[in-house]
A = this chain, B = another copy of it.
Amino acid sequence: MSSQSRSANDAHYELIYWPGLPGRGELIRLLFEEAGVPYTDTAKGTGDDAVSAVLGYISTGNKGDANNPPVLAPPILRHGGLTLHQTPNILLYLAPRLGLAPAPGDDGLLHLNQIVLTIIDGLVNEVHETHHPIAVSAVYEDQKPEATKRSKVFRDERLPKYLAYVQRLLDAETSGQGPWLYGDKLTYADLVLFQTVDGTMFAFPKTMDKLKQSGKYAGVFGLYDTVKQRPKIKEYLASDRRLPYSNGIWRCYPELEEG
C-alpha cells in the first residue's frame, strides 16, 4: 500500500476524461504538451469509447484494485500500476516528473501546489458555479435567475480578487526573474494560469477585456501571452488535439456578461 512509487518511469501516461470539451482535462494535457511527452487521451477516441472509459472508473460498482482506491470523477490518470484522480493531485504527481516542478519533499512543490489550488478555486470552480449555482444535476436554463446574480458577483468581486492575488504573486520576490509565477523558469502553475485565464476569457470576454484594459493585472495578462507563445504550446493550440470550448466549465452565455 504505502510502498515507493510502483510506476516505472518509462510507463505510458493515459488520461481518462470526457470527450467534446477541454474541461479540467486540459489542465493536465498542457503539461504533457509543454514537456513533449506522449500520452493517450480517451477524449480523442470515439465519443462512445471515451464515455465508456470514464463510466467504467466512476461506476459505484468499481472498488478500485489492490493498489488503487476507487475514483469519484474524472480527470483520471493511469501510469504504470498507479491510478489517480483529482486535478491538483494529478498535477502534483506529474509536474516533477515532467520537469515542471521541484521534487516531492521540496518546499517549492508545496508552494506551487497552493498556488495551483487557489487558481483552480477561483478560475475553474467559481466559474462553473456562475452557470450552475443551484444544482449540477439541472441544466443552466433551470437556474438562470440565480446564475445571473452569481455571475454579477463573480464579475464584480471574485474575478478581480483572484486576478489581484495572481498579480500579487507576480510582484513577490518568490516570482524571481522573468514572467513566471514562482522561481526563474516556467512551472506547471504557469500552464494552469494560462488555461484558466483562456477559459475565463471565453466565458466572460467583455469583463476580462475591461480588467485587462485597467492595467492592474499587466503581469497576469503578460504571463498569459508568454505561455501562449511557447513553441510547443503554440503548436498544440493550432492542432486538432486542442478541443474547442463547449458546454463545460467555461461557457459563453452573453446574458451572464457585463451589460
Contacts and interface: CB of A to CB of B under 8 A. Distances in A.
Interface residues of A, number: 68
Interface in A1-48: 1-7
A2 B114 CA distance: 15
A141 interface: no
A174 B84 contact: no
Interface stretch (A57-65, A206-214, A224-232): A57-65
A63 B114 contact: no
A92 B110 contact: yes
Contacts of A218: none
B86 A117 contact: yes
Of the candidates A88, A102, A110, A117, the one having the most CB atoms from chain B within 10 angstroms of its own CB is A110
B115 A173 contact: no
Interface string A144-169: 00100110010001100000110011
Contacts of A237: none
A66 B6 CA distance: 36
A143 to B, nearest CB: 8
